Structure 1
Amino acid sequence: MITCIIVDDEPRNISILSKMIHLYCPQVHVAGSATNIADALGLIHEHSPQLLFLDIEMPRGNAFDLLKQIMPVNFEVIFVTAFDTYAVKAFRYNALDYLLKPVDIEELKQSIQKVSTRLGIQDINTRLDNLLQQVREKETSRIVLRTQQGAFFHTIADIILCEADGAYTRFEFVNGKSLLVTGNLKKYETALPARDFCRIHDTYLVNLNHIVRHHPGKSGYVEMINGRTVEISLRRKAEFLSRFRL
Structure 2
Amino acid sequence: MKVVIIDDEPKARKLLEILVKENCPKITEILTAEDLLSGVEIIKKERPQIVFLDIEMPEHSGLEIFDFIESKTYNFEIIFTTAYSEYAIKAFELSAVDYLLKPLRADKLVDAIEKAIHNIGKSHINIKLDELQKSLKSSDFKKIGLPVADGIKFVNFEDIILLKADGMYTKVSIQNGSELLISKPLKHFETLLDAIPTFYRPHRSYLINLKFIQEYVKSDGGYIIMDNDESVSISKDKKDEFLTIVQNIG
The bucket for the TM-score relative to the shorter chain is: 0.5 to 0.7
Question: Structure 1 residues 114 and 101, CA, compared in 2 at 3 Å: closer, same or farther?
Answer: same
RMSD between superposed Cα atoms in Å:
2.2
Counterpart residue number, 1:241: none
Instruction: State the Cα deviation string for residues 69-109 of structure 1 (Å, max 9, x = none).
Output: 22425211100011422321111111111111110010001
Task: Map residues 71-110 of structure 1 onto 2, 5 A cutoff.
Answer: 71-72=70-71, 73-110=74-111
- CA deviation string 1:107-162 (max 9, x = no partner): 00111111121112142222222113324557xxxxxxxxxxxxxxxxxxxxxxxx
Superposed, which structure 2 residues align to 1:1-246 within 5 Å? 2-72=1-71, 73-137=74-138
The corresponding residue for 1:219 is none
Relative to the length of structure 2, the TM-score reads: 0.51
Structure 2 CA distance for aligned equivalents of residues 61 and 124 of structure 1: 18
TM-score (norm 1): 0.52
Matches of 1:98 and 1:26 in 2, distance apart? 20
* Mapped contact 2:66–2:126 kept (Cα < 8 A): no
The answer as to whether partners of 2:80 and 2:98 remain within 8 angstroms in 1 is yes
* CA distance, structure 2, for counterparts of residue 98 and residue 113 of structure 1: 13
* Residue number in structure 1 paired with 2:166: none
Aligned pairs, how many?
140
Residue 60 of structure 1 deviates from its aligned partner by 1.1
Helix, strand or coil for the counterpart of 2:118? helix
Structure 2: which amino acid aligns with 1:99? Answer: L
Unaligned 5+ runs, structure 2: 140-195, 198-250
Could you tell me how far apart the structure 2 residues matched to 1:38 and 1:124 are? 18
Percent identity, please.
35
Q: Which amino acid aligns with 2:42?
A: L
User: For each residue in 1:19-51, what CA deviation from the matched residue of structure 2 results, as whole angstroms up to 9, or x when unmatched?
Assistant: 110110011134411111221111111111111
SS in 1 for 2:108: helix
